């Protein structure tokens, strides 16, 4: 079997190594347009902050790693045409311009996405930059002394993390977000306002509910640097020629398959699933590194078990995500109350400020947890802000959502206790109990 993977980022590389782990005999080739082997995109802002010593430290695999795994990696190589009937790919070396052709039995599309540039008049005149790649960080590091003020359009995770990093580099930073609050889609207004205050206390300006129509509105000077961090969009590079359904990305099923012998993974996809209860189709996008890795593992398994449905795996995500600015860690999983309202789902939520250790411990840390459930008590989402033990609690709630657990289940878990490590009353259990009681009161009023 010959497997060709277009794209050598997290999804493409993990798919290749997973295939090799499962099968020592198949042929595996990666065509990667860039000049770099796989690196940690999520670490880019922390290179600017200075908590990662060198940019080269974020490289996860080197060329000899691919050689050891018998994976043919072609860097600086662009796939220019795919012929699905002949099952061939024409590619071009970007540096030399030399073309070649390779055949495949199974094709994996993992070519990622591009930064979304908002339709702002004359934005190209501003010499703006994006912040999504190794080269972007390299450029910013080399030109860090050429500006005093950074204006970041986009208040998502990357914009916030980069803004903090630039503050640490003694730059003045302004974040401009089009939505009513920063971290849209991940946090509700009440929780993201806590993060915003931390940013503002650090000296950052945060402007929300602001739409820029003309670049002149920003009144940029020669000592300003405009950075666009407004998410990504997918171009249908091969979708039309291959006859693949395309919406916000290439549409795949939860087995990562778009058609026979073609699998798609990573940022370039949109997953179409059927809700087991309503039987309605729903679309999911997940542009997280964790999702890319799991999609790659699932695709690799399913490629090798295409004739054995019982061994095939399916993808699931709650879009569980976490971030850090300074000493503050914040993350979310599942639905926000805002997202649930847009879907017409009635919810109840509870918010609790507690300690991660017993109150008498000097090194105790604050933690704020917001838990969201439907009116039957099923857990839908959580948002957590703290200084420690945020990730584990988020993962626990993510599991609760995945396995359709109720608030009562979170209350009845046998949690561990030691005053110097964990409080006697686990904050997650307490907030679940508060939310459960709230639902009881609300439901009783209806009767």
Active site residues: 42
Residue whose pair of structure tokens reads 């729903």 in the numeric block: 282
Q: Do residues 303 and 106 lie in contact, with contact meaning Cβ atoms separated by under 8 Å? A: yes
Nearest to 48 by CA among 115, 114, 143, 128: 143
Q: Please give the Cα distance from 330 to 307 (Å, whole number).
A: 43
Q: Please give the Cα distance from 418 to 441 (Å, whole number).
A: 34
Q: Which long-range contacts (CB under 8 A, 24 or more apart) does 406-414 make?
A: 406/373, 406/376, 406/377, 406/378, 406/379, 407/371, 407/373, 407/377, 407/378, 407/379, 407/432, 407/433, 407/435, 407/436, 407/439, 408/377, 408/432, 408/436, 409/379, 410/371, 410/379, 411/436
Q: Is 367 exposed, middle or buried (0-12, 13-18, 19+ CB in 10 A)?
A: buried
* Pair type for strands 114-115 and 172-176: unpaired
Could you give the count of Cα atoms lying within 13 Å of 139 in the half-sphere of its Cβ? 12
Enter the tokens of residue 154.
């986009």
DSSP-derived letter for residue 416 is -
3-state secondary structure of 329: strand
Distances (CA, A) of 203 to 173, 179, 187, 191: 8, 21, 22, 20
Q: Do residues 196 and 155 lie in contact, with contact meaning Cβ atoms separated by under 8 Å? A: no
Q: Please give the Cα distance from 330 to 325 (Å, whole number).
A: 8
């Amino acid at each position: 079997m010959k497997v060709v993977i277009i794209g050598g980022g997290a999804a493409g590389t993990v798919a290749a190594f997973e295939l090799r782990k499962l099968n020592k005999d198949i042929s595996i080739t990666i065509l990667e347009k860039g000049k770099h082997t796989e690196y940690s995109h999520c670490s880019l802002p922390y290179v600017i902050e200075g908590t990662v010593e060198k940019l080269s430290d974020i490289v996860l695999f080197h060329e000899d790693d691919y050689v050891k795994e018998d994976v043919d990696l072609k860097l600086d190589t662009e796939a220019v045409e795919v012929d699905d009937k002949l099952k061939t790919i024409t590619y071009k070396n970007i540096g030399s311009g030399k073309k070649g052709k390779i055949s495949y039995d199974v094709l994996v599309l993992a070519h990622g996405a591009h930064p979304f540039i908002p339709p702002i008049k004359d934005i190209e005149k501003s010499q703006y930059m994006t912040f999504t790649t190794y080269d972007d960080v390299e450029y910013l590091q080399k030109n860090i002394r050429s500006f005093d003020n950074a204006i970041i359009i986009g208040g998502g995770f990357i914009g916030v993390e980069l803004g903090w990093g630039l503050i640490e580099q003694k730059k003045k930073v302004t974040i401009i977000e089009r939505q009513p609050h920063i971290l849209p889609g991940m946090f509700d207004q009440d929780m993201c306002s806590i993060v915003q205050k931390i940013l503002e206390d650090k000296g950052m300006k945060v402007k929300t509910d602001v739409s820029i129509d003309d670049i002149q509105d920003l009144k940029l000077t020669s000592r300003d640097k405009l950075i666009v961090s407004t998410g990504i969009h997918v171009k249908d590079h091969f979708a039309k020629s291959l006859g693949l359904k395309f919406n916000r990305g290439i549409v795949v099923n939860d087995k990562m398959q778009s058609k026979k012998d073609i699998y798609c993974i990573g940022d370039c996809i949109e997953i179409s699933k059927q809700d087991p209860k309503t039987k309605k189709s729903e679309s999911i996008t997940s542009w997280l590194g964790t999702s890319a890795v799991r999609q790659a593992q699932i695709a690799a398994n399913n490629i090798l078990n295409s004739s054995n449905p019982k061994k095939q795996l399916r993808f699931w995500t709650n879009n569980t995500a976490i971030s850090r600015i300074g000493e503050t860690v914040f993350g979310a999983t599942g639905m926000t109350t805002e997202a649930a309202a847009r879907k017409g789902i009635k919810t109840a939520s509870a918010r609790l400020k507690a300690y991660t250790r017993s109150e008498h411990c000097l090194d105790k840390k604050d933690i704020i947890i917001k838990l969201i459930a439907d009116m039957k008590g099923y857990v839908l989402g959580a948002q957590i802000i703290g200084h420690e033990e945020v990730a584990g609690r988020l993962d626990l709630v993510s599991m609760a959502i995945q396995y359709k657990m109720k608030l009562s289940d979170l209350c009845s878990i046998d949690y561990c206790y030691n005053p110097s490590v964990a409080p006697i009353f686990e904050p997650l259990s307490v907030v679940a109990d508060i939310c459960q009681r709230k639902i009881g009161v609300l439901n009783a009023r209806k009767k």
